Structure 1
Amino acid sequence: MGNCFGSPDAAAKSTGPRKGQPTWPKVSDAGSGGRQEKGRPWPSAPGRVLEEPRLREFTLSELRAVTRGFKPEMVLGEGGFGRVYKGWIDERTLNPAKSTAGVVVAVKKLNPESVQGLQEWQSEVNFLGRLSHPNLVRLLGYCGENRELLLVYEFMSKGSLENHLFRRGATFEPLSWSLRLKIAIGAARGLAFLHSSEKQIIYRDFKASNILLDSDFTPKLSDFGLAKNGPSAGKSHVTTRIIGTYGYAAPEYVATGHLYVKSDVYGYGVVLLELLTGLRAHDLNRPSHQSNLVEWARPYLSGRRKLTSLMDQRLGGRYPPNAALRAARLANKCLSGDPKSRPSMADVVAALEEIEALQETAGSKGHRDLPPRPVARRSPSPYHHDSSKPC
């Protein structure tokens, strides 16, 4: 981390594409509808929606230096957008007042063969570039030069939730119940913040691989390439092309292309179910009747006796049963087939905070949350994840 491969003498530049470079929609079209005061937080939300992105515009040569020429050994992972590289930037290029040697970053480089690359790059800048919240990954800057599209993010040292839940090995020890609950609450807060804006933001691709974890396992939502503005006043949904990841997309969206704010709540319910079970939303390697996690798990989500058959065996029974049962029932509500019957994400956060309080009470009475027994095998990079697939 002490090494710096950036350009120490480069002055911070204002956001905005150079002449001849790709442009994106006006910032007022994304997020607040232009009615929110600059930097003013939304009620009950510990974050801000800015009028315009405050991002560093990097040159291509700077990002080549940052990633040592995009060398293969710097690759953290690869997704539908392209490869993600690890790099170091002199912090003075982001904030001239800083004097530290360097900061670790993740640089996402568009695959030229990506069909929706430009659109997703624009969406990422428009949405994530304007949003500030503890549970959203921080976008530091971008580059759009010589038909090369890149994005620069804060580095999330623990990688994705997907890898910690589903990969085996010393790199990814089983998550304890308390960590799973912490991740569930943080991810819910991030999604609730998006939904709380004056012009609601629908994330549209909520899944375990898009939840990244920092060194303290604080979860942060990443990848806003599929994000959409919510419905306008008087309308319940927006109609859009069906795209996302199979197993996470809400049934009404898959069937009709009608995207509701509460379509995100369904995706959240799937991830909460994955946190409980340790199983992927969709896995053809499981028996046919178990390949779809939601369909298989639904009968187990209401009763205490059935719950033990549902919970991740790697927890080794180390979880408060009452808290786990309430979490399972909450997941069941989120997975309702009717979007109107699903709770809001604000209600989900409140319910999870009550579960957390219940766990703390149980802990004070002697129900200890011991860490699961680790499994020692090798596994891939923590930044590797499956790309989005059409539903």
Structure 2
Amino acid sequence: MKVWLKGAILLGICLGNIEAKELQELLLSSQNSSRMEAKERAIQSARLQEEALFAGYLPKASLGYDHQRLSKASAYTPTRVNRGYGEVSVVIFDGLAREERLEQFERLKQARIHEANFERENLALEIIEKYFSYHYTQSLLQSALQKDRELGESLRRSKILHDSELIPLDEPSALEAALEQNRYEIEAYRLHLFRYQQQLELLSGSPLESLQANSRLKEPTGGESGILREDLRAREEEVNALEHQAKTHTYWPTLSAKNSYSHYDFNSYLGEGTPSAQPERQNEFLLSAKMDIFDFGAIAKARESVRMQKLKAQSELNYAKESLQKEQKIALFTLQVLKQQLKAAQLSLKASSTALEIQRQKFSAQLLSHTDYLAALSQEFEAKAKLQTALNEYEIAKARFYFALGVPLFEQITLENRP
């Protein structure tokens, strides 16, 4: 039993001392995680799409070669023609579709940026939740180890008294049962700690030996003002992109220009034709205008379809904004309730510790039954657990409150010991 207890105590010490990391370190490390890398790739893709679209409207230069062969031709028409040419073309005006499409892609790029910012905050919230849950479980483990030591000492004393035939067998048996049940809980806490450690490593993208328990979130002052959260800003940009997309469907004319220079090689004339009958070099300039005047309403219907998509997205955005307002109210009320629960848990632990000390003295003097002693010990352990639960939930509630307001979580972390 002593070997097992020393090993468990050593585990608890190591969890707090080996290359311990702070909460802010985890948040900084998470910026290089695979989740954030995926969002950065999405931004790069949107930026390249915008650049490709812009480049597509710039003048284009191209080179080409044609070979023509005719089975029948007139006397002055060559049966074989080789042509090499260079061409420059540009779209001068396309009914403002170009400008609207460029603005659409700009809005989509901004949406990807806001999505990345939101993912950064969402990732920070997940890390904060796991961080405080880790320390909550670690506190329960330390309390369970302390309870194990006390139960072990009481069991040792009870066995001595039983061997001296001063107490019945049921007392050491009850203590031994409580001891084994407590060890079952210790193993469960160790499993939870391992899970939280693995989850934090995944979220932060870095190996983790242990965590320092010196971080908490700043106390809300009550005067915090929320800003439009990044996920809603992303959705606003997507709504704006749809508005510009609808305007790309237009009946305005398209005006383009093209200039080409060609060099011909004529041969194999039939009849009396000679190569000099055709010019060998030709420069051609073409200015064209095109306007759709009737298409059975195809363009109008396409524009209306996109407009309906925009109205749908706008309605979803309005609902999301209303939902966020409710979320902010719930987060604030949760903070107020948990603050009162935290005070109650602190008073409960103080009373339970005082009661246990009195019961312990009575039990040592054989003035109290083992049943009452175990009840007092369990009551104090439950009071400690409630306090740790309240501390954990209160810190997480503060994080969720700031998250709902759109306040950067990293700026709200302070390096102080938890109360």
TM-score of the two chains, using structure 2 as the length reference? 0.21
Which protein is richer in helix relative to its size? Answer: 2
Higher relative contact order structure (alpha carbons within 8 Å, sequence separation ≥ 6): 2
TM-score of the two chains, using structure 1 as the length reference? 0.22
